[in-house]
């Protein structure tokens, strides 16, 4: 742990087309091996497909999907008196958003289908409807926290 104090929050840059910081967060999570242009291409194709399907602003659809998938509580492993317990703890908004994006991308990567843009748009649309693997992951996390509520005093 740092002795100097807390690190200051960096403001994320906004993307060139939608001028939104959230889109840039998505791009940075999609990107592999430093290929940012390909990540932008994938996300913009997915957003184009979302716009065609829903007839709404794709940035607001992404926001709604993230809100649906964001967990309120999660479990953390804590070592107490020689044994490890899964201790439920509340999650902050930034950490919850990061988890939601990570779960949506992980679920879309595991989907069978054509290309990543198609899989990503399908997973986002499923998340809005309340189905899909990302929603299942959130519910599983909440169930795990509920089952380990007895260890909440170890927080």
Tell me the mean pLDDT in the region 117-138. 93
> The pTM is what?
0.86
* Torsional class of 116: left (φ above 0), alpha (ψ -120 to 50), beta (otherwise): alpha
pLDDT in tens, 67-99: 999 999 888 888 887 888 788 888 888 899 999
The confidence score (pLDDT) of residue 1 equals 59
Tell me the mean pLDDT in the region 1-8. 78
- Inform me whether the pLDDT recorded for 106 exceeds 90: yes
Instruction: Count Cα atoms within 13 angstroms, Cβ side, for 17.
Output: 12
- Inform me whether the pLDDT recorded for 136 exceeds 80: yes
Residue 62 CA, chain-centre distance (Å), reads 10
The crossing angle, in degrees rounded to 10, of helices 93-110 and 58-69 is: 100
User: To the nearest whole number, what is the mean pLDDT of the chain?
Assistant: 89
Query: pLDDT band at 2, cuts 50/70/90?
Result: low
- Inform me whether the pLDDT recorded for 19 exceeds 90: no
What percent of the chain lies above the pLDDT cut of 70? Answer: 97
The confidence score (pLDDT) of residue 8 equals 86
pLDDT in tens, 31-71: 999 999 999 999 999 999 999 999 999 999 999 999 999 99
The confidence score (pLDDT) of residue 155 equals 66
By the 8 A CB rule, do 129 and 61 touch? no
**List of domains in the chain:** 21-74+93-145 (1.10.455.10)
């Amino acid at each position: 742990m740092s002795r100097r104090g807390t690190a200051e929050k960096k403001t994320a840059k906004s993307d060139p087309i939608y001028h939104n910081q959230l889109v840039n967060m998505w791009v940075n999570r999609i990107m592999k091996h430093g290929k940012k242009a390909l990540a932008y291409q994938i996300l913009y194709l997915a957003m184009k497909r979302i716009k065609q399907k829903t007839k709404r602003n794709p940035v607001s659809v992404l926001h709604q999907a993230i809100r649906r998938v964001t967990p309120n509580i999660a479990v953390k492993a804590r070592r107490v008196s020689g044994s490890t317990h899964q201790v439920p703890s509340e999650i902050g908004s930034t950490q919850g958003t990061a988890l939601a994006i990570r779960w949506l991308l992980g679920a879309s990567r595991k989907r069978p289908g054509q290309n990543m843009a198609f899989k990503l748009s399908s997973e986002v649309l499923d998340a809005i409807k309340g189905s899909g693997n990302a929603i299942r992951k959130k519910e599983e996390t909440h169930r795990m926290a509920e089952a380990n509520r007895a260890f909440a005093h170890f927080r």
